Structure 1
Amino acid sequence: MHILLPTLHVRPSPQAVPLAAACLKAALPEESRRRASLLDLYPRQSDAEMLAAILAAAPDLVAFPLYVWNRRRLLALARQLRQARPDLILVAGGPEVMADSARVHAEGVFDYLIGGEGEETFATLVARLDRGEKPSPTDPLTASPPPPEELPSPWLSGALIPSEGGGVLWETSRGCPFACAFCFDSRGTRGMRPLPMARLEAELDLFVRHRAGQIWILDSTFNHPPERGKELLRLLARKAPHIHVHLEAKADFLDRETARLLGQLSCSVQVGLQSARPEVLRRIHRNFEPREFARKIQLLNQAGVTFGFDLIYGLPGDDYAGFRQSLDFALELTPNHLDIFPLAVLPGTELHRDAIELGLRAQTEPPYEILESPSCSAAEIEACRLLAAAVDLFYNTGRAVAFFSALLRVPGWKGSDFLLDFADWALTVAKIPRERFLDGESWQAADILELQEGYLSHLFKKLERPDLLPAALDLLRYHFHYAETLLGPETLPSPPEELRNLDPWLAPLRLAEGVRLVHFSYEILDLLEMEDSELEEVALLFRPVGSVAVFLRRGEEVLCESLEEDFLTLLSGCDGRRSPEEIFAGTVIRAEGEEIVRFALAEGFLLPAP
């Protein structure tokens, strides 16, 4: 029996790893495992393309993990599979089956549903089908989860193989010790089951050997209990300090040692704030003391750790003003980014169970988003959505964290005031269609830069402070190009043997792909020294004399240097058609010019034209 395990991902990304499907495959006996294969599907594919990909594998059994983001699409796909291949055995599992099994069963599409952690149940089902048995397809098949030491590793079994430079999803435990009313992470049970450290060490060795680029640790709270979190960080620092790690933490359990260990890694930490209103958080079983939270976050700042917050709007008892209050609190702590979501009233959660009593009206189909509540009208939910989109565009994708507070000090606004003004300008003056403004994924970084420049020009004119605009735009452009350079190709020195037979003065040259030349109003290095100062102070101390800087990446470091006139003439003139002799056109003698060219070639700024 050929088994196919397709996964419909959210989008193509380093996180698009079919971990759940691979766990099912790893749990099969070796002979069955050889007959099982994984298939990655993406929303941009048409239903016909997905159907063709599945049928091309000629499976006998197809098993889908169902999530909030793919349930509708996969149900439709399963119906088409049933029509095309009536003999196919169709199986579904995942959070949507566990939380909403009755409605999934009522769809009448799947032969079998698997609830809970599916490895053991799926392996048993496959074994029975291989023996010619036909289990009754009624209630979801379930089994008690095995002890952590008995769970097979999808990585060590070979069900998944890390790709060089790619992403890895890494389970270090299962379960959740908390009981937040909105969350399904605990899967209906309290408590954590940590995976054995020996397994984690072997998996990490595998990731390092395969040169994985990023690791997402799937613990909903990696630092609980704190000592195990520290043990995990020490393991990462010892074996993989060069791999970027993404973690989720609870601020309550942050301490100076944890922050220090995080500071030794290349990492980003996401902290679940959700709301800054203690009375709102108490209703969903979370404790919060604002000053203590801020003190814990300051430990991350002091250790130089990149961190972000999660915020949710539409929580029971919260309103639009409360969401703005939470946003302002979060922005004052200078997170690297803010992930903001509408409340999802997920089946299987306490909020879903008590929705009628609480007066929560939400979508009845995935993604189950809140529509209105007694404290937050439908209009206020839409206002929250617009403000969240402004945060995503200007602050997150616009890389505004480093200069955002400097911008706020000019009008004396709170962060939410600024972002609402930006949203209003974008919709009314720039005439950005509302749906496009709300769709953050439709924007390219360069388009957002142009939008930010337009808004800042409008804002400083409105504030009657045009003298501060050049410094504000310089900071904006610096951080944009810094981030783009960091994400772009590395610029490496050229091997001497590649340049041995090259006449650097007469050969056509081109700028390396990862090198950027950026124009600024001020001498950019002077401005960066004053980055934490008021914009007024910059305008008083410096004149906008202009500069051009070169940006390039070496490893994880971005280099930014202001260019002297001859070096700028050379780099800006190398278009792949002209030689340095033609570019300088007699303004520089050959001996001096050739010295500059040789340096630029050796450092990899310039390359011979193809």
Structure 2
Amino acid sequence: MKVLLTAVNSKFIHSNLAVRYLKEYTKDLNYECKIREFTINDRIERVLEEIIFEKPDIVAFSCYIWNHQFIDMLSQLIKRVDNNIEILYGGPEVSYDCEQFLKNSYGEYLIEGEGEETYREFIKMKLDENEIAPIKGLYIKDNDKVYYGGRRCDIDMNRLAFPYTSDDDLVNKIVYYEASRGCPFKCKYCLSSTMHGVRFLDIERVKKELKFLMDKKVRLVKFVDRTFNCNPKFSCEIWNFIIAEDTETTFHFEVSADILKDEEIKVLSRAPKGRIQLEVGVQTTNNQVLLNIDRYVEFEEIKQRVNAIKAIGTVKQHLDLIAGLPGEDFNSFKNSFNDVYSLEPEEVQLGFLKLLKGSKMRDEAEKWGMSYSPFSPYEILKTSDISFEELIKLKRVEEMVDKYYNSQKFGTILKYFLDKFPTAFDFYFSLGEFFHKKGYFNRSIASYEYYRVFLEFNKENREVEDYSLYEIVKYDYLRFNKKKWLPEFLPRYIDKSVENTIKEMVKGNELYMVNKKYHVELFKLDINAFIKKSTINYGSNFYFIFEENMPNNIIDITEKLK
């Protein structure tokens, strides 16, 4: 018997943890098991071809809100090609209203909730070739009737098999890891609110497995634990361990900032730069809205802890907001955005409420006047507090923030603009509306055009032609793009003889360059004065050396040439 464990990820760099758990948990059983991973961006015809080529007896799908419709179409195609291939579903998207889902699907089996134990018993049943028997957690469709084996208790975490092996190719992949399951909080929009309690892996086992991933030189390990710091003793010991290791691996954790203890912050203060990054679900800074979603915390508590982490200087923070929450209108969300932006995290993520199957938020949709898409990912369309048109405008803001702020490639340009608008939100809102008016959202634009947009925006939106802005745009462009060529809208006016003089001065001088690949540029604006003091000194000559592939290694040699 051959089973194809099939994952349809949202991006190529992602990996699927669930199918790896299933394979490793049943590796002692006498059957052929293979993992295949695709993405929702693959042509469905190609995915079908790859699956059929494997000649499986059973195809098992890991179902989420982002791949459910793709899997539904794929299931139908599989059955049309070979009706003898059986289909098994599992994952959060199919773990609510399971009977109805299976009735309307093309598959024969569905695993509810945690799948490891249920999947193992299912495989043993298929291998025994006996009459189908009830299995806890399993739904079986037979002649249009669905049979349920009953609810299964949560698994002891330490019975799980480590999902990665020495043969796994994890290069350039985000590797997901799980040290606990469950969440102590009951946020209405989250499926974790339906679970009870938190279960942890043995801490020594966690260390051993993380060491394995470090030795594999995994670039990024992303913990999927819903609230990693809910047990401060556990989080401190894990953080101490990875901080002490000699590794280039980065570890990403979802935390609740308001419950971060002083001892946890003290541990994090010892982290090398780039070792740890934290994702903080702020969601809103409106305390009443926080209560509306059963988050019993005030923004000031979150702010205090975020600022304490920021003061460390080596731990990256990613702060989340959700638009469309109950009781939050456009102006309230604007205030939430400005509150979070003022904390200056490395990333600000604007998400939009999704009314997941089985969540309390979906049950309260009518109470809050919520209209949401009936198709996955079940995103909010409007509420009694915010209109569809307002949410669309916030999506434009989201794109601007993600492209220009989160990429961290436009920092000097953003500095120029932000103090020219009443608030940060007003700037990103205006920029988003400008993109919409110009049709930039509807077509692909070249990377260099994302810089040119600012010159257009300044001239048309602010009705100002400021030549210092050209120099600021040029500075950010040269930091992150090819140095030998400048797009035609940016000025280049260095004298060749001066450039040769500078090259001779730099030649062989390791104080200047690390890899000896560099570019010399003349500016008419004192960039350093602008960055440090927001001062515009335009007209003189200022010389900079930009090192290739090292955006932060920029040397001002103006004084050396006087």
Task: Calculate the TM-score normalised by the size of structure 2.
Answer: 0.84
Q: Alignment partner for residue 92 of structure 1, among 89, 92, 95?
A: 89
What is the CA-CA distance between 1:150 and the residue it aligns to? 1.0
Is residue 551 of structure 1 aligned with residue 547 of structure 2? yes
Counterpart of 1:545 in 2: which secondary structure?
strand
Is residue 345 of structure 1 aligned with residue 355 of structure 2? yes
Alpha-carbon contact 2:3-2:32 (below 8 Å) kept: yes
- In structure 2, runs of 5+ residues without a counterpart are 134-139, 484-506, 508-513
What is the CA-CA distance between 1:559 and the residue it aligns to? 2.5
For 1:74, the aligned partner's letter is I
What is the CA-CA distance between 1:282 and the residue it aligns to? 0.7
For 1:399, the aligned partner's letter is K
- Residues 360-509 of structure 1 mapped to structure 2, 5 A cutoff: 360-397=370-407, 399-400=409-410, 404-409=414-419, 411-428=420-437, 431-436=438-443, 445-456=447-458, 458=460, 462-463=463-464, 466=466, 468-470=468-470, 472-474=472-474, 476-477=476-477, 480-481=480-481
What is the CA-CA distance between 1:468 and the residue it aligns to? 4.4
Shifted more, 116-125 versus 391-400: the winner is: 391-400
Q: Alignment partner for residue 327 of structure 2, among 305, 317, 325?
A: 317
Alpha-carbon contact 1:165-1:211 (below 8 Å) kept: no
d(CA) in 2 for partners of 1:445, 1:235: 40
d(CA) in 2 for partners of 1:323, 1:518: 44
d(CA) in 2 for partners of 1:347, 1:116: 13
Counterpart of 1:531 in 2: which secondary structure?
helix
Is residue 244 of structure 1 aligned with residue 253 of structure 2? no
d(CA) in 2 for partners of 1:50, 1:173: 33
d(CA) in 1 for partners of 2:402, 2:43: 28
d(CA) in 2 for partners of 1:427, 1:44: 25
Counterpart of 1:301 in 2: which secondary structure?
helix
What is the CA-CA distance between 1:402 and the residue it aligns to? 6.3
Equivalent residue, structure 1, for 2:200: 194
Label 1:478 to 1:232 Cα distance change in 2 as closer, same or farther (>3 A).
farther
What is the CA-CA distance between 1:106 and the residue it aligns to? 2.7
Label 1:515 to 1:364 Cα distance change in 2 as closer, same or farther (>3 A).
farther
* Residues 482-524 of structure 1: per-residue CA shift (max 9 Å, x gap): 99xxxxxxxxxxxxxxxxxxxxx9xxxxxx999563745257x
Alpha-carbon contact 1:474-1:520 (below 8 Å) kept: no
Alpha-carbon contact 1:162-1:207 (below 8 Å) kept: no
Alpha-carbon contact 1:372-1:381 (below 8 Å) kept: yes
Label 1:402 to 1:130 Cα distance change in 2 as closer, same or farther (>3 A).
farther
Counterpart of 1:38 in 2: which secondary structure?
strand
* Residues 522-572 of structure 1: per-residue CA shift (max 9 Å, x gap): 57xx634652322xx2x24x6441435322347xx84333579x99xxxxx
* Residues 216-240 of structure 1: per-residue CA shift (max 9 Å, x gap): 1111222222222111111111235
- In structure 1, runs of 5+ residues without a counterpart are 437-441, 484-504, 506-511, 568-610
Alpha-carbon contact 1:63-1:91 (below 8 Å) kept: yes
Equivalent residue, structure 2, for 1:593: none
- Residues 6-405 of structure 1 mapped to structure 2, 5 A cutoff: 6-13=6-13, 16-32=14-30, 35-133=32-130, 134-135=132-133, 136-137=140-141, 138-139=146-147, 142-155=151-164, 161-186=168-193, 188-254=194-260, 255=262, 256-262=265-271, 265-304=274-313, 305-397=315-407, 399-400=409-410, 404-405=414-415
d(CA) in 1 for partners of 2:333, 2:374: 24
What is the CA-CA distance between 1:292 and the residue it aligns to? 3.0
Aligned pairs, how many? 516
For 2:451, the aligned partner's letter is L
What is the CA-CA distance between 1:162 and the residue it aligns to? 4.9
d(CA) in 1 for partners of 2:517, 2:540: 24
Label 1:225 to 1:121 Cα distance change in 2 as closer, same or farther (>3 A).
same
d(CA) in 2 for partners of 1:226, 1:424: 44
What is the CA-CA distance between 1:58 and the residue it aligns to? 0.9
Label 1:515 to 1:90 Cα distance change in 2 as closer, same or farther (>3 A).
farther
* Residues 119-158 of structure 1: per-residue CA shift (max 9 Å, x gap): 00001001001101334432555522221111111125x6
d(CA) in 2 for partners of 1:559, 1:405: 20
Structure that is richer in helix per residue:
1
What is the CA-CA distance between 1:269 and the residue it aligns to? 1.8
d(CA) in 1 for partners of 2:268, 2:197: 25
What is the CA-CA distance between 1:456 and the residue it aligns to? 4.2
Counterpart of 1:80 in 2: which secondary structure?
helix
For 1:17, the aligned partner's letter is S
d(CA) in 2 for partners of 1:190, 1:86: 40
Label 1:167 to 1:338 Cα distance change in 2 as closer, same or farther (>3 A).
same
Shifted more, 334-343 versus 447-456: the winner is: 447-456
Counterpart of 2:269 in 1: which secondary structure?
helix
Taking only aligned residues, the RMSD between alpha carbons, in angstroms, comes to 3.1
d(CA) in 2 for partners of 1:7, 1:59: 15
* Residues 248-273 of structure 1: per-residue CA shift (max 9 Å, x gap): 22111234314414456523221111
Counterpart of 2:469 in 1: which secondary structure?
helix
What is the CA-CA distance between 1:396 and the residue it aligns to? 2.4
For 1:81, the aligned partner's letter is I
d(CA) in 1 for partners of 2:370, 2:237: 41
d(CA) in 2 for partners of 1:444, 1:250: 38
Label 1:299 to 1:532 Cα distance change in 2 as closer, same or farther (>3 A).
farther
What is the CA-CA distance between 1:480 and the residue it aligns to? 4.2
* Residues 405-438 of structure 1: per-residue CA shift (max 9 Å, x gap): 55322x252011111221232233xx124445xx
d(CA) in 2 for partners of 1:276, 1:327: 8
Label 1:478 to 1:275 Cα distance change in 2 as closer, same or farther (>3 A).
farther
Equivalent residue, structure 2, for 1:575: none
- Residues 530-569 of structure 1 mapped to structure 2, 5 A cutoff: 531-534=531-534, 537=535, 539-540=536-537, 543-553=539-549, 558-561=552-555
d(CA) in 2 for partners of 1:147, 1:248: 22
Alpha-carbon contact 1:346-1:352 (below 8 Å) kept: yes
* Residues 150-181 of structure 1: per-residue CA shift (max 9 Å, x gap): 1111125x6x7253454321111111111100
Counterpart of 2:527 in 1: which secondary structure?
helix
Equivalent residue, structure 2, for 1:3: 3
Counterpart of 2:366 in 1: which secondary structure?
helix
Equivalent residue, structure 2, for 1:439: none
d(CA) in 2 for partners of 1:244, 1:190: 30
Label 1:480 to 1:287 Cα distance change in 2 as closer, same or farther (>3 A).
farther
d(CA) in 2 for partners of 1:359, 1:18: 36
Counterpart of 2:198 in 1: which secondary structure?
strand
Name the % identity: 22
Label 1:376 to 1:3 Cα distance change in 2 as closer, same or farther (>3 A).
same
Label 1:23 to 1:140 Cα distance change in 2 as closer, same or farther (>3 A).
farther
